[in-house]
A = this chain, B = another copy of it.
Amino acid sequence: MAPTKTAAKPGERLIYLPLGGAGEIGMNAYVYGYGFPGKERLILVDLGVAFPDMDSSPGVDLIMADISWLTARLDRLEAIFITHGHEDHLGGLPHLWSQLKKPVYARAFTATLGRLKMEEAGLARDAIRTVKPRPEVITAGPFEVQFIPVSHSIPESAALVIDTPAGRIVHSGDFKVDRNPIVGEPWDDAVFEAIAAERPIKALMCDSTNVFSPLPGRSESTLGVPLAELIASCSGMVVATTFASNVARLKTLAEAGRAAGRTVCLLGRAMKRMILAGEESGVLQGFPRHVSPEDAVEVSRKNLMLIVTGSQGERRAASAQLARGKYLGLEMKEGDTFLFSSRTIPGNERDVLKVVNAFSEKGVNIVDEQGGKYHVSGHANRPDLEHIHRLLLPDMVVPMHGEHRHLREHVKVANEAGIAAIVATNGTMLNLTGEVPVVAERVETGRIYLDGTALVGALDGVIRDRIRLALNGHITVTLIVDEDGEALGEPWVDTMGLPPTGRGGRDLAETLEGDLGEFVAGAGRKVMADDDKLEEALKRVVRQVTMEEIGKKPEVIVVISRLSAE
């Protein structure tokens, strides 16, 4: 409980290095180090994922921070701390832990979720150790770490107090100032005042997500009455969606449904898993009684309420399934109500509107969050950020968990309160030892894609090739060259993802085969004998002909098979 007594030795330094999460929202991974330059002992805070999209990462399953800086310094890494159970903080663990193999510390609910993930990946459950909140202290090399309960949109979120010989750091994690959060611990000013009174705060690493929201954030508890009124006013079936991990919201929704005399049913694996983890870890008590989909089918529509996954229009989630038709025997019909108790994350608008329009076709009434009436954010708004700055009075603020625009605005907020602050995006190593943050080094960082079961670098070219295939289509040319260096038969063309006919309705593949055949017939010995030259020449013919025929330049693979003179 007592702060560390070790004083900083001359020449030692305290560093901070975001590998992910600073300059984007997602894949959080922050490194702290203390020691002589190049010999700092290290800890990692959070190891999250980001989600792919068709524009930049088609076919990819998950995106994670490139941790090669860390794996190259494994002997210096002491431990991993996970602030809370959201995917962008915890989700990288099952895919990257085996490269790190260090103890992972988390609070009970987060640890429960983490162990489920480790188990599914065939990894050791006991890599994750359950930690109690402050006053419990975890010592990891020169670091002494305490978990401080904060309110957020998932149970048992924590800020970290990280004591180092060079001073005390508060790493905010994701938080909001909610004094009545329905599930979990309320925000408590006194706790943070005590932390700052105990030892001055050197640096506050702080969530920046909602820095552009000018009004104070609203409590989860403000939603209960409006939701209950809405559901009571509905006549048909009511279906509500929200983030599966927002256990408080699930409870509020379920209670509103029960209060309106409805039988409640949860649809979607993620949702059931969260309730289970909540009950198992003791976080969630008294979740209203709910029935299985099989039983829900037997309930009359006007007495039924479903709570479902898929608030972002995800294709495989329950909401999209219901938008397409029957799902687990349940079907939405004219006069039913679908409620988005959620906000659309920028980039997901198209998918969400697809679901909305599909419901509209069925005659379903769609209710959105109505500007905050049926949804509140889990992140601190600008006045709340100003509030925590004032509570802690740190020497410096380092904004994290935000795109560049968020970090930059958050720096302005801190500066306006007279606090030193700096924009430090992924790969910017800061030296925090002095009175203001100083850039110590630029580290090469990046993104790793989980593609199927393989990990590939974002810049490896694999995904770039897939994007090219999507834009340009694909042509395979095969040619057999005989023992004498002459073409055996005609070149053969296979196309994929290309218009079948070109100008004047000519078959594209046939036109190509004709022109390639002509080229090969007239090609000199030298070209025919040189695989590289021949391949390049054939590609050139393909690109030129397809440009003339269909106005596109496809991706081309040329396979030349040479019969050897046996």
Contacts and interface: CB of A to CB of B under 8 A. Distances in A.
Interface string A477-494: 010100000001100101
B559 A357 contact: no
A366 B499 contact: no
A465 B496 contact: yes
A346 B357 contact: no
A361 interface: yes
Interface string A450-461: 011111100010
Contacts of A347: 349-350, 353
Interface string A498-512: 111111000000000
Contacts of A361: 404
Contacts of A463: 497
Interface stretch (A82-90, A106-114, A550-558): A550-558
A59 interface: yes
B452 A552 contact: yes
Given A466-B473, A473-B59, A561-B480, A452 B405 contact: no
A58 interface: yes
A462 interface: yes
Contact of A496 (B360, B471, B557): B557
A272 interface: no
Contacts of A497: 59, 462-463, 465-466, 468-469
A353 B346 contact: yes
A190 interface: no
A563 interface: yes
Question: Copy number of this protein in the oligomer?
Answer: 2
A530 interface: no
Interface in A331-359: 346-347, 349-350, 353, 356-357
Contacts of A404: 357, 360-361
B454 A563 contact: no
A262 to B, nearest CB: 25
B492 A559 contact: yes
Given A357-B404, A403-B357, A555 B496 contact: yes
A551 B454 contact: yes
Interface in A531-558: 549-552, 555, 557
Contacts of A462: 473, 497-500
Tell me which of A469, A471, A494 has the highest count of chain B C-beta atoms within 10 A of its own C-beta.
Answer: A469
A55 interface: yes
A303 interface: no
A466 B476 CA distance: 14
Nearest to A453: B551
Nearest to A478: B559
A144 to B, nearest CB: 36
A140 interface: no
A217 B400 CA distance: 39
Contacts of A555: 496
Given A349-B349, A466-B473, A360 B408 contact: yes
Contacts of A478: 478, 559, 561
Given A350-B346, A453-B550, A405 B476 contact: no
A472 interface: yes
A290 interface: no
Given A350-B53, A474-B474, A561-B561, A456 B405 contact: no
Interface string A435-455: 000000000000000011111
A153 to B, nearest CB: 21
Contacts of A476: 476, 494, 557, 559
Contacts of A472: 59
A7 interface: no
A471 B551 CA distance: 24
A96 interface: no
A467 B470 contact: yes
Contacts of A552: 59, 451-452, 454
A72 interface: no
B465 A499 contact: no
13 contacts: A55-B55, A58-B58, A58-B470, A59-B552, A356-B405, A360-B403, A453-B550, A462-B473, A462-B498, A470-B470, A476-B476, A480-B480, A489-B561
Given A346-B349, A476-B559, A489-B561, 10 more contacts: A347-B349, A347-B353, A356-B405, A452-B551, A466-B469, A466-B470, A476-B494, A478-B561, A488-B563, A561-B561
Interface of A: 23, 53-55, 58-59, 346-347, 349-350, 353, 356-357, 360-361, 366, 403-405, 408, 451-456, 460, 462-463, 465-474, 476, 478, 480, 488-489, 492, 494, 496-503, 549-552, 555, 557, 559, 561, 563
Top-7 shortest CB links A-B:
A452-B551, A453-B551, A470-B470, A466-B497, A452-B552, A454-B499, A58-B470
